[in-house]
Amino acid sequence: MNSPIYDKQTLRLCSNNTADLITAANILKRGGLVALPTETVYGLAANGLSSAAIEQVFRAKNRPLVNPLIFHVTDQNQALKLFNFDGNDRRTLRRFSRLASTFWPGPLTIIAKKADYIPGLATAHLDTVAVRIPHNQVTTKIIKECAVPLVMPSANLSTRPSPTSAFHVLATLDGRIDAVLDDGRCQVGIESTVVRIDLEQVKILRPGMIDRHAISLCLNETIEDNFSSNNNKPSCPGQAYLHYSPAINSVKTCLPSDAHCRWQSEDMFLARRKDFLALEKQMGPRPTATTNFVLQDEAKFYASELYDALYACESYMHKNLIIVLPQETDSSWTAIIDRLIKSGGIKANQHSNDRKH
Ligand code: TXA
Ligand code: MG
């Protein structure tokens, strides 16, 4: 794909203004792109049944065409129409009904065989489709008003962290999209759990804040963790390349026990409060001019603050970030640790293309 010049006037719309909701829906109806809030992260919405609109999403995000999109709907029937459950596949249908009834609207994306009419571009020509009902009133209103499912990848340039505020959306997509609908901060803060249900064993392809334990309890089955930070094999096409990375010099992850050697350096630190305080007790205060992102101890709150910290550290684009990994085996931390590991390990200049935009 050629990279067009981007000089759109990106409209700033406000979720408590009815006229702005109508404007957002009208832009989507005529094939445009609007960043919409969800409970997880902001998504870049487009008409999911229009190949032309879907193509614009890939272009605006600079997203590889091999990375499929998630369809967002407002009720289970609308979701069922996107799937093609073989008449005999009762097991998949039973799993769908249980998961959808338990977790929707909410941060769970369900993957199964797709219906034939779905544009191939949206699913990277796979035979499956990803669907979820987001938990956000204004976005639900807009999907209903559009009367079509909306595709919504996270509203960021490819490789960068997902946005949890309209401000983050504009940090990478200002001028590249038609509008952003500001609805304040996203509560969950990291992307939905992605689960594939049409195979012998249900697989988690991307961990999220609905963890394996909760899905296993809902389905009364054992669930396989099948994501790349767990087994090094990308199972979601989108997990195969650089992700969740702030545009700074470098990001490195380490365990609390290995954090000592950089403690007195100029590097930025991102750590959980209890790990930061333990290091401070042992090593003394960090140099005064350094920047530290100290996140809350509870997984739920840590997740909701994480991407805000990653965007904040972009103010220091020539610096390095050291992420102190929480040493937790509890499944409530799995998704967070997955994102931290993926955002780590980037080299200087890897973002040089992004900065041109
Ligand atoms: O919370 C979320 O899921 C957010 C909000 C906006 O809903 N959306 C989001 O979309 O994170 P995106 O495009 O950034 O991530 C979608 C992930 C990618 O890793 C993609 O590879 C995977 O879902 N995916 C989508 N369709 C798939 C399919 N048919 N098979 C396997 N993986 C799929
Ligand atoms: Mg994304």
CA distance 241 to 227: 13
Q: Which ligand is nearest to the CA of 136?
A: 1
Q: Could you tell me if the CB of 129 is within 6 A of ligand 1?
A: yes
Coil, helix or strand at residue 197: coil
Q: Could you tell me if the CB of 38 is within 6 A of ligand 1?
A: yes
Range with lowest mean pLDDT among 97-101, 247-251, 270-274: 247-251
Q: Could you tell me if the CB of 161 is within 6 A of ligand 1?
A: no
Q: Which atom in ligand 1 lies closest to the alpha carbon of residue 114?
A: 29
Question: Going by CA atoms, what residue is nearest to atom 20 of ligand 1?
Answer: 238
Measured in Å, residue 59 CA sits from the centre of ligand 2 at 14
Range with lowest mean pLDDT among 5-14, 19-28, 205-214, 234-243: 234-243
Q: Are 351 and 247 in contact (CB under 8 A)?
A: yes
The pLDDT score that the predictor gives to residue 232 is 53
The pLDDT score that the predictor gives to residue 6 is 79
pTM here is: 0.94
Rounded to 10°, the helix 299-312/334-343 angle is 20
Contacts (Cβ under 8 Å, ≥6 apart) of 233? 226
Q: Which ligand is nearest to the CA of 64?
A: 1
The pLDDT score that the predictor gives to residue 344 is 79
| Span 336-351, average pLDDT | 70
Q: Which atom in ligand 1 lies closest to the alpha carbon of residue 156?
A: 14
Q: Which atom in ligand 1 lies closest to the alpha carbon of residue 239?
A: 19
70 pLDDT above the threshold of 50:
yes
The pLDDT score that the predictor gives to residue 3 is 53
| Span 273-284, average pLDDT | 96
Confidence category of residue 355, pLDDT binned at 50, 70, 90:
very low
Q: Please give the backbone phi and psi of residue 184, each rounded to the nearest 5 degrees, phi first.
A: 75, -160
Q: Which atom in ligand 1 lies closest to the alpha carbon of residue 155?
A: 6
Q: How does strand 128-132 pair with strand 203-206?
A: unpaired
Q: Could you tell me if the CB of 234 is within 6 A of ligand 1?
A: no
Q: Could you tell me if the CB of 10 is within 6 A of ligand 1?
A: no
Residue 163 DSSP code: P
CA distance 307 to 245: 10
Residue % of the chain over a pLDDT of 70: 90
Q: Could you tell me if the CB of 82 is within 6 A of ligand 1?
A: no
Measured in Å, residue 246 CA sits from the centre of ligand 2 at 13
| Span 73-93, average pLDDT | 92
Residues 85-103 have pLDDT tens digits of 876 689 999 999 999 999 9
Measured in Å, residue 45 CA sits from the centre of ligand 2 at 12
CA distance 318 to 290: 13
Biggest CA-to-CA distance, the chain: 66
| Span 154-167, average pLDDT | 96
Fill in the amino acid letter for 124. A
Measured in Å, residue 236 CA sits from the centre of ligand 1 at 8
Residues 178-199 have pLDDT tens digits of 999 999 999 999 999 999 999 9
Measured in Å, residue 46 CA sits from the centre of ligand 2 at 15
Coil, helix or strand at residue 340: helix
Q: Which ligand is nearest to the CA of 82?
A: 1
